Structure 1
Amino acid sequence: MRLSEILGDAKDKGLSQADSCRLPVVTYRKNMESSECNICMAEYEEGEILKILPCFHSFHSMCIDKWISKNATCPICRVEVSLKSPTIS
C-alpha cells in the first residue's frame, strides 16, 4: 500500500499566489527595526523588497512567497496568515 493511499491526497495548506501578492510590501531602509530575514538568515540590504505579514514580521519577498505557498502561518510566531476581510456584526 502506498503512503498516499493511507494518508489521502496531500494538499498544500498555503496561500495562493494571488493572495500572497496581496501582502503589504516595503522597501528596506537601514533604520528599520528588523535587520535579517528569518527564513534565509541573510541580512537585509538597503532597497530590498520585504513583505509584511499581519503579525508584523517581515521577510524577503521571495523567501516568504515560497514559505507561504506551503504554510499559511508566520514562520516565526505561527500566527495564521489570513487575508479575509473582517466581518461586521
Structure 2
Amino acid sequence: MGRVSTGLSEETIANQLNTRTHISSANQNEEPEICVICQAEYEKNETIGRLGCGHEYHADCIKTWLLEKNVCPICKATPF
C-alpha cells in the first residue's frame, strides 16, 4: 500500500536529458506541436526535452514525469 516511486534522480535527469530550443514553424498549415504531458502547444524559444526514443516534451514536464516514472509517457521505453 502507499505510493512507490520508480523515477530517476534529479541528477540523472539533469545529466542525461537532451534539450533544444523550440523554433516555431513558418508554415501555418501544419498541425501545432504539443506536449502530450500538459497538452499545451510548444511556444517559440521554449526548452524542449528529447528522450532516447525520440519523443519530445516540455523540458519541465518531462523532468517532473521522470522523477516519478522511469519510462517514456508515449512508448514506455526507458528514457536514456
* TM-score relative to the length of structure 2: 0.82
RMSD: 1.9
Residue 11 of structure 1 and its aligned partner are, at CA, apart by 3.8
Alignment of 1:28-47 (within 5 A): 28-31=22-25, 35-47=33-45
Structure 1 residue 21 corresponds to structure 2 residue 14: yes
Runs of 4+ in 1 over 4 A off after TM superposition: none
- Structure 1: state its 5+ residue gaps: 5-9, 83-89
* Identity %, equivalent residues: 33
Q: Which is greater in Rg?
A: 1
For residues 11-40 of structure 1, the C-alpha deviation after alignment (integer angstroms, 9 at most, x for no partner) is 411111011112111000124xx7110000
Q: Tell me, which stretches of 5 or more residues in structure 2 are unaligned?
A: 26-31
Structure with bigger RCO (C-alpha 8 Å, 6+ apart): 2
TM-score of the superposed pair, with normalisation by structure 1:
0.74
Residue correspondence of structure 1 range 2-81 to structure 2 within 5 A: 3=1, 10-22=3-15, 23-31=17-25, 35-81=33-79
